Amino acid sequence: MDQKNAKREITRLRKEIRRHSKLYYEQDQPEISDFDYDMLFRRLQELEAQFPELDSPSSPTHKVGGRASERLKKVTHSVKMDSLSDVFSFEELSSFLEKTRQQLQNTDEEILFTVEPKIDGLSVSLTYENGVLVLGATRGDGVTGEDVTANIKTIASIPQQLSEPLTLTVRGEVYMPRDVFEALNAEKEAAGEKLWANPRNAAAGSLRRLNPDETAQRRLDIYIFNFQSGSLYKDGHAPQSHRETIERIRTLGFHTIDLLCTADKDDEILSAVEKLGQSRNTLPCGIDGAVIKVDALHQRALLGETSSTPKWAVAYKYPPEEKETRLLDIAIQVGRTGVLTPNAVLESVQLAGTTVSRATLHNIDIIRQRDIRIGDTVIVRKAGDIIPEVVRSVVSRRCGDEQIFRFPDRCPSCGEKIVYDGQEVDENNEIIAESGAARCINADCPAQLERRLIHFASKGAMGIDGMGPQIVRLLIENNLIQSAADIYHLTAAQLAELPRMGEQSAANLTAAIERSKSAGPARLLFGLGIHHIGIAASEAILNKFGNIDALFTADADALCEIEDIGEIMAQSVTDFFSLPETKQLITRLADSGVVMQVEQSAPVSDSLAGRTFVLTGTLSSMTRTEAGEKLKQLGAKVSGSVSAKTSCVVAGESAGSKLDRANQLGIPVIDETQLQRLLHGEPLAEIIP
């Protein structure tokens, strides 16, 4: 490859890796498997090594993880939280071991390596002062992470106070146990929601919730694997090895990584890595590799580190297990938003510790691109070792009887014509090609109704205990509910007559329905199942608009002013609230006593009464939403647009058009430091003379 083509390929890879890194680290919604991401990363590393003149300090290969979320307070780590270099074969691992020995050969000391599992979770640091937990933070980009202290404290295995009054910081990996992950995904599937791709993303999404109560429900756990700073001993004694560090951390009450072995010979190390790989499906937590480290801490100091990775450790990444089986059929499932998802019906096969008979095919584009046909011998694997997916067909095994799959023209549930998210038309406006997600747009589709109501009643939405998929199905079959509003007209007498219900169960369910009326407008908005709108978006929207009724007159531009609400999300909301059936539904829910208004807390003072503030740009100590709430507590009004009536604009980093508009109108502008002074009681007149 010449330099011109290499530059083009490097540019493409960097763009693609940055996109997937943002999806993985910041949004917890990966689109590709870890293995596929690793291969993209490896290819970029190879090209940058081959063409060093094209390397750049801003390349993803020199970065760690992702940036901190704007929704959470940022934390600067006292010790940088590096990532590890990856190796993908025993040859590469042996090369690392040999290179390390060569670099330490002048020390004339024994060189020992430890082997331990690489937990597939979210890396965090825990800081204790005088034995008391004071800070929990995510890794972020290695330098700046997110303050998740309140959520960290919900993890039962993390000690709130150590048995000794030590000041220190340790590093660990928060993970979601397999059984919790599987139960959570089962709930999501029943509610017609998008499944978590793997336990790592489920753990990350759970730990970064704004409400600690929601994190507590996810039953996260943690393994501590490193000492970052401070002192592990009262007398200041420093551990001499990784083994000693782990043992000391364990005595302080932390769950620690089990070291599989400590060895100096390649065959012992490789054997431990291989043995771990064979047993990984039996472990209570997900792992995606084995970590091999130099044991002696002073030897680590001699080896040092690169800009983003230590030279004294590597992660051996296990390839995903793949199996051959036969594709018997392709079944269509209708989700709560009307999306038709093709699922492969397979001859049962043992894969990653479980029996697999169904696998996702995502959408029609995947089937076409991979030329997957009914009757094919196919390769299946588990994305993230959890969710089965069809990788490709084995074309060489075809006998001629295979059938090309054609998506149905009509919804298999209601018979209405389906539409595609992507369509190409000719000069006569006739459809000549269809792509993307297939969707049934019939609001009365039975399959959608069932999944919408399951979602409405689910824990994350209205939280109606006892109204799971089976009960919802039973209520629909008996013509007791046809919409979410019907739920609030059910009586104990009606429910008691249902099969396997009984008077006590009926009473419990009606009580749960009554309690759900107070779930709040954000959970109601989420429960309505609007495409692209999750619970975080629902909370942000209601923080701005205050009540559900206001959304009937909200326009897309006003919604886009909300942090983390994009054009597609805004359009979904305006489209939904423009429907006459939405107005009817909300009216019926309100008449039933469902809370539509955000409970407003009384201002703590009126020092900013009569003042209107506009926030723009990125704040480092809080989100704009949090800053707005604090200003309201001082009696101020917070607006999303700058006008002649604006009293003051708060401008963070990368402030845009609102700052320009403020300057044009001569509106006073303050920075984040001045905002903090204002929030701590300093009069506005002293900040803006």
Q: Identify the residue whose tokens are 């006593």.
A: 593
Is residue 80 within 8 Å of 142, Cβ to Cβ? yes
Question: Residue 300: what are its φ and ψ, rounded to 5°?
Answer: -60, -40
DSSP state of 566: -
Q: Are 104 and 302 in contact (CB under 8 A)?
A: yes
- Non-local (6+) Cβ contacts of 437 within 8 A are 339, 340, 363, 420, 421
Residues facing residue 431 across a β-bridge: 425
What is the DSSP-derived secondary structure letter of residue 164? S
637 is catalytic: no
Question: What count of other Cβ atoms lies within 10 Å of the Cβ of residue 110?
Answer: 10
CA distances from 344 to 115, 328, 374, 548, 580 (A): 38, 8, 9, 40, 38
502 vs 498: CA distance, rounded Å: 8
Of 118, 317, 382, 658, the catalytic one is 118
Which residues does 329 contact at the CB level (< 8 Å), separation at least 6? 344, 345, 374
Cβ partners under 8 Å of residue 608, min gap 6: 631, 634, 635, 636, 678, 684
Concatenating the DSSP letter of every residue in 235-276 gives T-PPPSBHHHHHHHHHHTT--BPPP-EEESSHHHHHHHHHHH
- The total number of residues written for the chain in this structure: 689
Active site residues per annotation:
118
